[in-house]
Amino acid sequence: MSIAGKAVTVALTGNPNSGKTTLFNRLTGANAPVGNYPRVTLTPHRREIIHRGWTITVVDLPGIYSLTSQTPEERTARDFIHFNAPDIVLNVIDSGNLDRSLFLTTQLIEMGRPRVHALNMMDEARRKGIAVDTGAMASMLGGAVVETVALTGDGFDALLDAIVAAAEAETVATGSQITYDRHLEQTIARVTAVIDELHPGKLDRSQSHWLAIKLLEGDDEVLAREGEHTSLIELIRRERESLARNHGEQVDTMIADARYGFINGMLQEVRTLSQAAGGTDLTRRLDRIILNRFLGLPVFLASLWIMFEATFSLGKYPTDWINAAVKAAGTFLNPVIPPGMLHDVVIDGVIAGIGGTLVFLPNIVILFFFLALFSETGYLARTAFLVDRLMHPFGLHGKAFIPLVMGFDCNVPAIMAARTIESPHSRLIAILVSPFMACSARLPVFVLFAGAFFAEWAGTVVFVMYVISILAAMIAAVMIGRFLKGEGQTAFAMELPPYRLPTLRAVWFHMWERAQSFLQKVGGVILVGSVVIWFLQAFPNQTAETEAFDARITAAQAQDDTPERADLLAQLELQKNQDRLVHSYLGRASQAVTPLFGALGFDWRDTTAILTGFVAKEVVVASYAVLYNQSEEGGKDGLKVALAGAMPPLRAFAFMVFILLYSPCLSTIAVIWREAGSWRWSAFSVAFSFGFAWVLAWLVLLVGGLIT
């Protein structure tokens, strides 16, 4: 770092659920995803802020418990601190769980980087009766300790001042070093000297010292990285065997004992415990119900049902307002734009496609209001424990539930969140079943069809679709697990955060982020898709069939003006438009694929919607809006009426099931390729999900036909 340049890079690290990313967002004004469960940050986020004339680049690293190589998040955070050598490490500590949080801090001390410590969530610590002597703690940790509350921003000015002070200091105190066994200290010194000889000028003293500790710990990735230095690896082997033989325990245990000894000794000096407030007791009382093996699952399902019922009932009014605005826009522009192709593109393409999709924005916002409440209160983390026992027979464990629940938002981050699963076998299964979760892009389709065919039970029908998505994911996990050979399941360990009253800022952030993402799609892929779909269904605009209809219309126009003549003309125009659709480029392409869905009863319009849904599921609604705009008044109500007259309710339900499961969108296919490490898994996902969806939709028709 340079005083002249007045620029400093700060690596932000800490345990999952320590409020690290909340602090990052509040401190920098960023919109990184947050959640009341572990490892929400999957890749580093970077943001610049200005304070007292300094440009501070804050890099939000994944939440970790340790600087080992057991998970991708730990490797990402560790490698950034080790190789990128940030000027300062901002260590976020959960003040209510110091015994656990400080284990990571001891490893940061070993790395030797300058540090500033944010003693976060002090409001909760005080309610637990915890007080900390920050001055004494700072001297022991070798860096300023600042009490903060990330949710409210308390202590942020002092925290930024501490960062600037550390940047301006000519030297940074290292604090109390971790004291190891005397023989272990001597061994670390010998290994450090060898590392300096093998990497002349490449590593500073602190980096060499830390690398020696990791090698002696037996860190597999570090050992592999230094594998070319056979003399070093042989030295490590001899030293580890000697220490284990002479001390009766493994070196990694000796190192961990030294770290915990440092933590326990320091906490005796700096922490004061008094009679805790009642927050913990409230948490226990609530958990007796929410985590109860008999009551927990019904409570969870009831919560989901309430969420979807509210999505419909509360969303009805703003949906009607948006629908009226869309119709008004079409009415206003209709006479303004001269007749011609531009008029048809705007009215029949853009207004119909975007307007038909935009009306579902309130439903999406309300859905994510409830998901934000689940996340911010701590309930979402508990659902993982709740379903852990249920998921084992399906080849998954509770840790996979968080990625699956994230799939209710978008399958892309859900698949990325599967990185938190240590077992490669379980992680691959979670990646491949995540697309079965009903992402928010499918919600407009469900709302449209539920409102058109099951108006009185719309909320319940959408709830059923989400339940089907969870069950389908479980069944798919069993089927995929039979073809994948791998190790047994790893133990599931995940902390339960305390219940918290969500802040308006946090809930608003979740809702706005989702609304913004939806509006970006409306202005991007849906706009382009609507125009493309309009073009394909509008051309060729003249065929032998349309010419025959034109002749019949001309003949009818020559007749006397009677009510029968008006009815005939209207009927001929409707038949002409329908025939033109059938013989358009879109109609021909869809009809070529339609036989694939013959047993499901889907016509070429349904096939068109299915094909466009491969790009993005929101385009399915836009496709129907453009296609049915030919014979129905644009807008939500007209589209529902048109759909209700085009297919029976049972086939509509089968179509909803098919759309739920049939294929990941293009973005999801791409991220499966990246996370699974091969395009073959992406191809497998598309083929498997399509076949699974077809069979399940066919079973819906078969069983439904027998019942009705």
Q: What is the pLDDT of residues 346-380, one digit of tens each?
A: 776 677 667 667 777 787 788 778 877 887 777 87
Residues 317 and 253 in one domain: no
pLDDT score, position 58: 93
pLDDT score, position 128: 81
**Does some domain include residue 108?**
yes
Among the three residues 254, 276, 298, which one is the final residue of a domain in this structure?
276
Radius of gyration of the chain (CA): 31
Distances (CA, A) of 702 to 468, 650, 695, 696, 707: 17, 10, 10, 10, 9
Encode burial over 616-642: b for 16+ CB neighbours within 10 A, e otherwise: bbbbbbbbbbbbbbbebebbbbbbbeb
pLDDT score, position 688: 94
Closest CA to 115 of 150, 147, 87: 87
| Across 660-687, average pLDDT | 86
Residues 260 and 301 in one domain: no
**Does some domain include residue 63?**
yes
Residues 263 and 374 in one domain: no
Name the burial class of residue 189, with classes exposed (0-12), middle (13-18) and buried (19+) by CB atoms within 10 angstroms of its CB.
exposed
Residues 242 and 154 in one domain: yes
Residues 109 and 258 in one domain: yes
Residues 199 and 298 in one domain: no
Please state the domain count of the chain.
2
**Does some domain include residue 321?**
yes
The least confident of 13-22, 103-112, 283-292, 412-421 is: 412-421
pLDDT score, position 147: 95
Among the three residues 228, 251, 276, which one is the final residue of a domain in this structure?
276
The least confident of 128-132, 437-441, 638-642 is: 638-642
**Does some domain include residue 669?**
no
**Does some domain include residue 674?**
no
Distance, in Å, from the CA atom of 421 to the CA atom of 486, rounded to the nearest integer, reads 14
For residues 404 and 211, the model is more confident at: 211
How much of the chain exceeds pLDDT 90, in percent? 14
pLDDT at 288 over 50: yes
Q: Please state, as a whole number, how many other Cβ atoms lie within 10 Å of the Cβ of residue 410.
A: 20
- Check if the beta carbon of residue 345 is closer than 8 Å to that of residue 531: yes
**Does some domain include residue 164?**
yes
- Convert the pLDDT of each residue in 645-658 to its tens digit: 888 999 999 999 99
Among the three residues 247, 276, 305, which one is the final residue of a domain in this structure?
276
Q: Label residue 259 by pLDDT band (50, 70, 90).
A: confident
- Convert the pLDDT of each residue in 387-419 to its tens digit: 666 666 666 655 666 667 777 777 777 777 676
**Does some domain include residue 622?**
no
Closest CA to 655 of 707, 617, 627: 617
For residues 280 and 247, the model is more confident at: 247
pLDDT score, position 633: 42
Of 64-68, 147-151, 519-523, 635-639, give the range with the top mean pLDDT: 147-151
Residues 163 and 17 in one domain: yes
| Across 226-255, average pLDDT | 86
pLDDT at 3 over 50: no
Distance, in Å, from the CA atom of 296 to the CA atom of 289, rounded to the nearest integer, reads 6
pLDDT score, position 149: 92
Distance, in Å, from the CA atom of 270 to the CA atom of 137, rounded to the nearest integer, reads 6
pLDDT at 550 over 80: no
How much of the chain exceeds pLDDT 70, in percent? 81
Provide the residue range defining the domain that includes 463: 290-483
Q: How does DSSP classify residue 69?
A: S
Of 135-144, 313-322, 693-702, give the range with the top mean pLDDT: 693-702
**Does some domain include residue 266?**
yes
pLDDT score, position 40: 45
pLDDT score, position 635: 43
Q: Give the Cα-Cα-Cα angle 276, 98, 283 (nearest 5 degrees).
A: 40
Residues 173 and 299 in one domain: no
- Convert the pLDDT of each residue in 434-446 to its tens digit: 889 888 778 888 8
| Across 174-198, average pLDDT | 80
The mean pLDDT of the chain is: 79
pLDDT score, position 641: 81
pLDDT at 596 over 80: yes
Q: Does the N-terminal peptide bond of residue 38 adopt cis geometry, omega within 30 degrees of 0? A: no
Q: What is the DSSP string of 332-396?
A: HHHHHSPSSHHHHIIIIIIIHHHHHHHTTHHHHHHHHHHHHHHHHHTHHHHHHHHHHHHHGGGT-
Residues 63 and 143 in one domain: yes
| Across 152-177, average pLDDT | 79
Chain centroid to Cα 626, Å, comes to 31
Residues 294 and 377 in one domain: yes
Distance, in Å, from the CA atom of 390 to the CA atom of 581, rounded to the nearest integer, reads 49
Residues 311 and 163 in one domain: no
Q: Label residue 683 by pLDDT band (50, 70, 90).
A: very high
Which CATH number is 265's domain given? Answer: 3.40.50.300
Q: Which helix (H) or strand (E) holds 90?
A: strand 88-94
Residues 109 and 170 in one domain: yes
Parallel/antiparallel/unpaired status of strands 130-132 and 54-60: unpaired
